[in-house]
Amino acid sequence: MASGGAFRNLRLAVLCLALTSSVGGEASRRFWIENDTFMKDGAPFQIVGGDVHYFRIVPEVRFFLFFLAGVPAFFFFGTAGVPALLLRSSCVTVSETGVEPICNCWILLQEFHQLPQYWKDRLLRAKALGLNTIQTYVPWNLHEPEPQSWEFNGFADLESYLRLAQELGMLVMLRVGPYICGEWDLGGFPPWLLAIEPALKLRSSDSTYLSLVGRWWGVLFPKVAPLLYSNGGPVIMVQIENEFGSFGDDKNYLHYLVQLARRYLGDDIVLYTTDGGAMGNLKNGSISQDDVFAAVDFETGSNPWPIFRLQKKYNLPGKSAPLSSEFYTGWLTHWGESMATTDATSTAKSLKTILCRNGSAVLYMAHGGTNFGFYSGANTGQDESDYKPDLTSYDYDAPIKEHGDVHNSKYKALRRVIHECIGSPLHPLPSDIEKANYGLVKLQKVTSLFDIIANISDPLRCAVSEHPLYMEQIGQMFGFLLYMSEYQGKLPSSILSIPKVHDRAQVFLSCSTDSVRNPRYVGVIERWSSKTLEIPNLGCSANTSLYILVENMGRINYGAYIFDRKGILSPIQIDGVTLHHWKMYPLTFNSLDNLPKLQLITQMPDVRASKVSVIHGHSEKKFQESSFYLNEPEFYEGHFHIDSESEMKDTFISFRGWNKGVVFVNNFNIGRFWPARGPQCALYVPGPILRPGDNVIVIFELHGPNPELTVNLVTDPDFTCGPKQ
């Protein structure tokens, strides 16, 4: 029950507003291009922008219980302390003695003390860098995780993010896709698109694909339209597709996207494309005949002005303001590589060659952020087997670090150049966010995966089939899928072959008459390396049970192989004989803080519900040598205490000594860790996901834990690990 003391911890700000929106249109507001110059409200305008993606930053989240006329009402507080739910019309004043009606207004509740507000914090750091414009992608998969299930809250509260940018005096360039790339899973496409039959042709004039894009944009654009610059909002430009010229040349597809955007957004908004600064890319990806502005991107060390001259050939006369819409401040990193870095001085020098000659540029990235959960993407080399998954961190060696720090040479160098070329005022350099060293956290094993497979498998998505099904086919869009079948082991050893596994399979054996607990780990088959594995004969009196745990490590986000289904995509053979009769168990990770309460089992459950109908290495010595990975997948849990909200600060979990897995803090998926491969050894834990009192860490370790069963919560993220370090 809310007490008077509780109200003393809140500040009531009553703002009586006009009935018209705060972003109501003004006739004089206009953004356009003429004489090869961006024009804003009748004056030349130079874009100094930066990508800051709302979906890679934790917004401030707080819940308050507030009694209105005796009825409890929950308020969800989003960014900048502004609640996502505001009361309108029946506005009241609140005191310890009662509730009284007042004027027609909005009510905002805020805490007395300042809490971390990371959307606002990162945007203010971008503004202090000298930026006047924010660019962001809009990932379709975040907003439509299941068909016609729309999500625009929390991370996905795009409208609040855009309004916040405007409140802070920033304009916005919006990259709506439907394909975005961005080192984001499947380039932003919802993975359920991959389950549609016949298979869609993504990024094409495929009629089914276009109808789904139309449905998505029919939801998105009515939210965006009131926020266009001409309507009083911050959005000055909207990007169509992304770097299409390096993928294909389907102009009908691009024309359709333009027509669809114009239908909702009107003719005044500046639509644009972005393509690499080469003739072939611009020829395939530009659509100047639709009055769509063609922007370019190119390597940071390139001479920009010959590329800007080439850009003019693919824009209408007078409509080619020089713009590098992705000026690379750093680069991405894959697991197993050294951490990508770029020199601060040379990066600033390259930016100066654009800005000091009245060109425009958007820093990619101004702030990278984090690929929380399972959203990190992947790239490929020569073919789809040359698979390169992205790190959890998306720091990108950007001037604003993953955790928000700006006291680094790159931020300071770029800030000086922007001030010198643009003449913008030097805003005070923000202080770095305070961090906490919570120290060593002792963990204990809670259970093994095989003990609780029934408890964390979605019974509505478990499936049986003559042949292995891919993940999307049974509705498992992210994470892990366990395959199970049986065979007769007659030879001293056998060869297991999985020609096409996406992405990484751990193989276990047990005798079918034995308990499934503690099956024998025999090795790994990986998409990028071996496709066969020599497995031992267990000497079973009956059949041998084969368990294959497949991890989806992120869908390809760029190039020809983006149609990247996950799981096992080929027949599975033992000694050349195809195995049939498969059971599949999708893993879910809901309420992991209740793991100790889950009932342990000793037998694999029968598959009783299926949404899918049945559809038509080396030797034992090698097994022993694989001692680097010893244990079966297991769950570990640890706790640490925070005394008060004032002690809730950013920290980093060091996974030195661990192998590979996923970590959850207070049931929030921080992301993947893989210190055995490197280079990332510590995962960022934003303060807003912590809480006063008990905080719970749950680790799903695929191979074997740190022998000391500890993780270290530290303040210094600047260390790496792995075989290359």
Q: Which residues are catalytic?
A: 243, 326
Spatial distance between the Cα atoms of 536 and 546, rounded to a whole number of angstroms: 12
Query: What is each CA distance from 398 to 287, 339, 502, in whole angstroms?
Result: 31, 13, 31
> What residue spans of 41-147 are helical by DSSP H?
118-129, 140-143
Residue/partner pairs of 418-425 with CB below 8 Å, 24 or more apart: 418/48, 418/129, 418/130, 418/131, 418/351, 418/355, 419/130, 420/352, 420/356, 421/352, 421/355, 421/356, 422/46, 422/48, 422/130, 422/355, 424/48, 424/130, 424/132
State the CB neighbour count (10 A cutoff) for residue 240. Answer: 24
Contacts for 193 with CB less than 8 Å, ≥ 6 apart: 186, 200, 202, 209, 212
Please check whether residue 16 is in contact with residue 104, taking contact to mean a CB–CB distance below 8 angstroms: yes
Q: Which of 147, 174, 304 is nearest to 234 (CA)?
A: 174
Q: Which of 676, 649, 665 is nearest to 700 (CA)?
A: 665
Spatial distance between the Cα atoms of 444 and 157, rounded to a whole number of angstroms: 37
Burial (CB < 10 A; 0-12, 13-18, 19+), residue 720, is middle
Spatial distance between the Cα atoms of 387 and 381, rounded to a whole number of angstroms: 7
Residue 428: DSSP 8-state: P
Given its phi and psi angles, is residue 20 left (phi above 0), alpha (psi -120 to 50 degrees) or beta? beta
User: Residue by residue, what is the 3-state secondary structure of 162-208?
Assistant: HHHHHHCCCEEEEECCCCCCCCEHHHHCCHHHHHCCCCCCCCCCCHH
Sequence letter at residue 650? D
Please state whether beta strands 693-701 and 270-276 pair in parallel, antiparallel, or not at all (unpaired). unpaired
